Amino acid sequence: GLVNQVVSHLIQAIPSREGSFASIRRLGAGSYYEHVKISEPNEFDIMLVIHIARLQLDESDDTGAYYYVSFKRNPRERYLLKFLDEDGKLSAFKMLEALRQIIKLEVRNITNMEVTVKRKKAGSPAITLLIKKPPAEISVDIILALEVQQSWPPSTQDGLKIEQWLGRRDRIRLRRKSLYLVAKENKKEKVLRGNTWRLSFSHIEKDMLKNHGSSKTCCESDGPKCCRKGCLKLMKYLLEQLKMKYPKELDKFCSYHVKTSYFHSCVMWPNDTDWHLGDLEHCFQKCLGYFLDCLQKSQLPHFFIPRYNLLSLEDKASNNFLLRQLNYQLNNRFPIFQE
């Protein structure tokens, strides 16, 4: 409720302070909105989306995930031209800065609760708000995204391999949805200019988590129940607990690694009968086994961009550390769940 109040206030106020953000709207992203949140709902991700008619996308590296964004001739969105850099690329950094300044000014006008903007974290695409709610604090990550209704770039062509699991028609339906790009610095760039954008599929992921069965009635009120979401929650909880225990060693990992590995598991075991509700323990160990295999090889392909490896070989030491910790948990009946 508090988060909705704050975000609604911002959505109404932002356009009047800055015309460039006149078309801004919200899109709930992240685990709370996917109904796979595992601990207290004290962290939220909110995407603020600007719709753009057409964009020119140029890959900024070999992952196929990061892009330079520029306008095709005479864009309708002339109000965004001031955010172009000297090469004519839309600068994520400039847009984020403008949005951050407006939000900083605007939170002062929220009088019925204490809201502050957290200091900027290098390389993070989020503007983080802190809402004081004694005895705790709620953090809200605001992420700036561009939405464009055009075909997905070639790097996604062989991704989203869900034909056996959700069916061919679902793949076609999902690939027709808009494309989203979030303001995100590409760490691999020689010179960090802050003008790259990363593809985001959180809206598709949300859809797949909701309609997750090979039969359309899976987990609906009158349909059979499965343990897919239970497995994902356990995987996320396991990683979260280990990260709390070893923050430095596991700094490179986030719940997205687990979520990606979960989607690959759904493809490997596509039938609802592979995920009987009563088989949670067995299925969880199967999912974990697949993730361990990825860590072993330092190879976890992005679910939508297959050539983008989320576990690079440069991080082999981190991958091995997590591999050892997870193996220990698995072989000792998960002591961390009892702690």
**Is-contact 62 307, C-beta < 8 A?**
yes
**Is-contact 55 146, C-beta < 8 A?**
yes
Q: Domain of 163: which CATH number?
A: 3.30.460.90
The pLDDT of residue 311 is: 95
Q: Give the end of a domain, one of 199, 223, 250.
A: 199
25 in a structural domain:
yes
204 in a structural domain:
no
Asked if residue 175 and residue 32 are part of one domain, the reply reads yes
Asked if residue 89 and residue 165 are part of one domain, the reply reads yes
Q: Domain of 276: which CATH number?
A: 1.10.1410.40
In the chain, % helix, strand, coil (3-state, to 5) comes to 45, 20, 40
**Is-contact 113 7, C-beta < 8 A?**
no
Asked if residue 234 and residue 189 are part of one domain, the reply reads no
pTM of the model: 0.91
228 in a structural domain:
yes
Residue indicated by tokens 């030491």: 317
The pLDDT of residue 40 is: 65
Asked if residue 195 and residue 238 are part of one domain, the reply reads no
- Tokens at residue 315, please? 């991080």
Write out the DSSP string of 142-156. Answer: EEEEEEE-SPPPGGG
Q: Give the end of a domain, one of 165, 199, 233.
A: 199
The pLDDT of residue 320 is: 97
The pLDDT of residue 155 is: 97
Asked if residue 258 and residue 125 are part of one domain, the reply reads no
206 in a structural domain:
no
Asked if residue 89 and residue 145 are part of one domain, the reply reads yes
Asked if residue 167 and residue 26 are part of one domain, the reply reads yes
Q: How far is CA 240 from the centre of its chain?
A: 16
Number of domain units in the chain: 2
210 in a structural domain:
no
Q: Give the end of a domain, one of 138, 166, 199.
A: 199
The pLDDT of residue 29 is: 57
Contacts for 219 with CB less than 8 Å, ≥ 6 apart: 212, 213, 225, 226, 229
Write out the DSSP string of 171-209. Answer: HHHHHTSPEEEEE---TT-SS--S-EEEEE-HHHHHHHH
101 in a structural domain:
yes
Asked if residue 29 and residue 54 are part of one domain, the reply reads yes
Q: Which amino acid is at 113?
A: M
Asked if residue 312 and residue 278 are part of one domain, the reply reads yes
Range of the domain at 31: 2-199
Among 287, 291, 288, 316, CA closest to 301: 291
Asked if residue 102 and residue 46 are part of one domain, the reply reads yes
The pLDDT of residue 312 is: 86
Name the phi and psi angles at 11, rounded to 5. Answer: -65, -35
Asked if residue 222 and residue 135 are part of one domain, the reply reads no
Asked if residue 228 and residue 190 are part of one domain, the reply reads no
Cis peptide leading into residue 135 (ω within 30°)? yes
pLDDT tens, per residue, the chain with 339 residues: 888 888 888 888 888 777 788 888 888 655 555 555 666 668 888 899 999 988 999 999 999 999 999 998 777 888 889 999 998 999 998 999 999 999 999 999 988 889 999 988 877 778 999 998 777 788 899 999 999 999 999 999 999 999 999 999 999 999 999 999 998 877 776 555 678 999 999 999 999 999 999 988 899 888 899 999 999 999 999 999 999 999 999 999 999 999 999 999 999 999 999 999 999 999 999 999 999 999 999 999 999 999 999 998 889 999 999 999 999 999 999 999 988
